[in-house]
A and B are shown apart, each in its own frame.
Chain A
Amino acid sequence: MRRLAPCLLVCLLLAFPASAEDEERGPWSRLKRMDENGDGKITKDEFRGPDRVWARLDPDGDGIVTKEDTQNMRSRRGGGAMGGGRGGGRGMPGRSGLPFEKLDKNKDGQISKPEWDSFLKEADENEDRILQKEEWDAAVGGTAMRDPAPKVGTKAPEVSAKLRGSELVVDLSAPERTTVLIFGSWT
């Protein structure tokens, strides 16, 4: 999985910049405009946004969101550090063109580790636990077509080939012995 780490790391760094300036421009900088009574806290009544966003801002359900809560939210997401998060919501591959909804299987507005692992497993066409660029492109719905070749562990296609120098035909779906198939324009 070493090859995945840099790709994942870049995506996370782009999505969750962790500088002090970004803290000021982060969620609290927008939320504090909703603080109608100026007490430094945002209540559910003051909040003007979707309920699912409020649920992420106020995970303990006390009905109040403070600046510290928004900072803790970033920590829960593991902002900027691969493997540093403590909760769900890892991975924000939006900049790669991958729709958030494609990973959010249960539609709870978050991408959990099981959902991310499930995506990686599905994208790994040849199940070698390495994500090639072609596999990534196919998974994110890029221009590359999904590879229709038979996957490891599946039954071999029902095709036959003639034995060289003979009229005998070998059924490659029932090879009887381990068989190597070499396809090449140079052969």
Chain B
Amino acid sequence: MPVCVDDMNDTVAKAYNAMPDRLFVLKSDGTIGYRGDRGPRGFRVDEMENALEGILAAAK
């Protein structure tokens, strides 16, 4: 599974307003498929997983 890493300036995190913890799912068409709330309270892995399953199923 390819893994990317943000740079030391947190460029990607800033672009996504992702501080301190946050989950997103990007669809293959370049759009946002899922946007979690800001963490830690909004950092819900199960919610993201459900969204991911739906996105993958729709992409088939």
Contact = CB atoms under 8 A, between A and B. Distances in A.
A184 interface: yes
Nearest to A161: B4
Interface residues of A, number: 37
A172 interface: yes
Contact of B21 (A134, A157, A164, A185): A185
Contacts of A157: 12, 15-16
A70 B47 CA distance: 47
Contacts of A163: 2-4
Interface residues of B, number: 40
Given A157-B15, A159-B12, A149 B35 contact: yes
Interface string B1-20: 01111110001110111111
The 7 closest A-B pairs by CB, nearest first: A183-B18, A161-B4, A149-B17, A157-B15, A181-B24, A179-B26, A184-B21
Interface of A: 125-126, 132, 134, 147-159, 161-164, 170, 172-186
